[in-house]
């Protein structure tokens, strides 16, 4: 069994590719069933965020190509269109990758904390769908523990640096005084909640929260003295908005060019600052063509984010050291599974030999031989049978000069090396 990660992220693929390969919450369960139904795929977890889509799988040898074609085929995209953007990590490299992702070292924003919650949700969803087993179960539990260690033992999470923070920081650069501005937040998830908190802390004049579930929008808006609307009411309130930040799980845009054009006319073409954090995108890309709109996507925020990352670089080095150590721990556990199987097979074979010799000894007792004679036969015969295969292999290793086998035998049987060589 082999551990494999296959995916793409903000470093390898542009947003238009990432959004086409995203797995929304409404399709994730069906996708997991389809994934683990593929030949050679034994376990699977799908992680899909605005910055990445990744498959974490336990597979049989040769199943990597199956995964590559499944990912593109599930979304109805030509394999050749997707494959150049994909990366793959196997075994220890896969473990290191997941630990880096969960610790925020592979994020657009170094050390951002939201990704760990997203990884936990991805694993829980796969677990609920019976898509995980012993290997991925152990891997993800190990990951959650190591990520906690990274957070507590380094300063990787120091200073507020996140996509939401970057969006608000950019808004502050555009509007020097946020107290006179109105912000329309589309969505009610963790990123939007962070954006609302940063806006509130920076003295935003007014907050409007739009969400598919109005009750959830009310709960969020109430925390920041804002008010809530449904997604269908966005067009009526958009002319009031100076700042728009969108992050929903909608598979299609919730804000189109025509709606924005009509809002701009009512605003007498006062500009609107927009940030689309969602993947797939919530705001039609064509909106960015309008002269009075400043539209940014998650990819555009990178330069803003880079300015806030200086203090986290040293912490990242510490985090890498922790990850390197703990990835080795996991691989040691994984290797122990192979040893456990080998030990079980060897024990079963030894018991078969024991039963065979014991039956022969019992027949000799039944035939009237003395117990002493039968015990000597039992001990001699069983010892010969148990040692026959290892002895033959050691003699062959000595003839071939195979020092690896000889040294391993020395360690295993605690023999003196010179005795092992001379007896061969």
| Residues in binding site for NADP(+) | 187-192
Q: Structure tokens of 165?
A: 């923070």
Which one-letter DSSP state was computed for residue 28? H
Q: How many CA atoms lie within 13 A of 207 on its CB side?
A: 30
- The C-alpha atoms of residue 272 and residue 233 are separated, in whole angstroms, by 18
Strand 206-211 and strand 52-59: the pairing is: unpaired
Which one-letter DSSP state was computed for residue 227? E
Residue ranges for the binding site?
49-52, 107, 112-114, 118, 187-192
Q: Structure tokens of 118?
A: 């997203």
Which position among 38, 50, 57, 129 bears the catalytic label?
50
**What is the DSSP annotation of 316-345?**
HHHHHHHHHHHHHHHHHHHHHHHHHHHHHH
Tell me how many degrees the CA angle 198-112-51 measures, rounded to the nearest 5.
Answer: 100
List, in order, residues 6 or more apart from 81 with CB less than 8 Å away. Answer: 72
Q: How many CA atoms lie within 13 A of 278 on its CB side?
A: 27
| Cβ atoms 18, 8 nearer than 8 A | yes
Strand 272-276 and strand 293-297: the pairing is: parallel
Residue ranges for the binding site for substrate?
49-52, 107, 112-114, 118
Crossing angle for the helix pair 163-174 and 190-201, nearest 10 degrees? 40
Structure-token match 């507590």, residue found = 152
38 belongs to the catalytic site: no
Q: Structure tokens of 365?
A: 């007792």
Tell me how many degrees the CA angle 333-336-342 measures, rounded to the nearest 5.
Answer: 160
Helices marked H in 37-133 — which ranges?
64-74, 79-82, 92-102, 114-128
Asked if the bond preceding 280 is cis, omega within 30° of 0, the reply is yes
**Cross-strand bridge partners of residue 243:** 183, 273
- The C-alpha atoms of residue 105 and residue 54 are separated, in whole angstroms, by 16
| Cβ atoms 158, 311 nearer than 8 A | yes
Active site residues: 50
């Amino acid at each position: 069994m082999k551990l494999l990660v296959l995916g793409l992220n903000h470093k390898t693929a542009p947003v238009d590719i990432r959004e086409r390969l995203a797995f929304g919450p409404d399709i994730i369960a069906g996708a997991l069933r389809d994934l683990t139904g593929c030949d050679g795929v034994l376990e699977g977890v799908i992680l899909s965020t605005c910055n990445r889509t990744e498959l974490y799988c336990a597979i049989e040898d040769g199943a990597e190509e199956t995964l590559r074609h499944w990912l593109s085929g599930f979304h109805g995209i030509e394999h050749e269109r997707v494959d150049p953007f994909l990366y793959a990590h196997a075994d220890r490299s896969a473990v290191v990758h997941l630990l880096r992702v969960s610790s925020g070292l592979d994020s657009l924003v170094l050390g951002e904390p939201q990704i760990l919650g997203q990884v936990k949700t991805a694993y829980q969803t796969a677990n609920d769908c019976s898509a995980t087993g012993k290997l991925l179960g152990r891997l993800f539990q190990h990951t959650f523990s190591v990520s906690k260690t990274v957070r507590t033992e380094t300063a990787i999470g120091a200073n507020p640096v996140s996509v939401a923070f970057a969006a608000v920081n950019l808004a502050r650069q555009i509007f020097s005084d946020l107290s006179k501005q109105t912000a329309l937040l589309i969505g009610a998830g963790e990123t939007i909640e962070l954006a609302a908190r940063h806006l509130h802390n920076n003295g935003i004049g007014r907050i409007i929260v739009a969400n598919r579930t109005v009750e959830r929008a009310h709960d969020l808006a109430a925390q920041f003295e804002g008010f809530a609307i449904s997604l269908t009411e966005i067009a009526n309130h958009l002319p009031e908005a100076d700042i728009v930040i969108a992050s929903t799980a909608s598979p299609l845009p919730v804000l189109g060019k025509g709606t924005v054009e009509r809002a701009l006319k009512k605003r007498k073409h006062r500009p609107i600052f927009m940030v689309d954090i969602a993947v797939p995108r919530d705001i039609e890309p064509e909106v960015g063509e309008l002269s009075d709109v400043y539209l940014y996507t998650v990819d555009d925020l990178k330069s803003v984010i880079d300015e806030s990352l200086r203090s986290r670089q040293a912490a990242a080095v510490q985090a890498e050291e922790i990850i390197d150590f703990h990835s080795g721990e996991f691989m040691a556990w994984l290797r122990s599974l192979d040893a456990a199987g080998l030990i079980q097979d060897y024990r079963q074979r030894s018991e078969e030999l024991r039963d065979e010799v014991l039956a022969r000894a019992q027949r000799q007792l039944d035939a009237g031989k003395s117990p002493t004679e039968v015990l000597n036969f039992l001990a001699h015969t069983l010892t010969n049978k148990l040692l026959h295969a290892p002895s033959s292999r050691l003699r062959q290793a000595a003839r071939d000069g195979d020092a690896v086998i000889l040294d391993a035998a020395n360690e295993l049987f605690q023999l003196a090396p010179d005795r092992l060589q001379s007896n061969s």
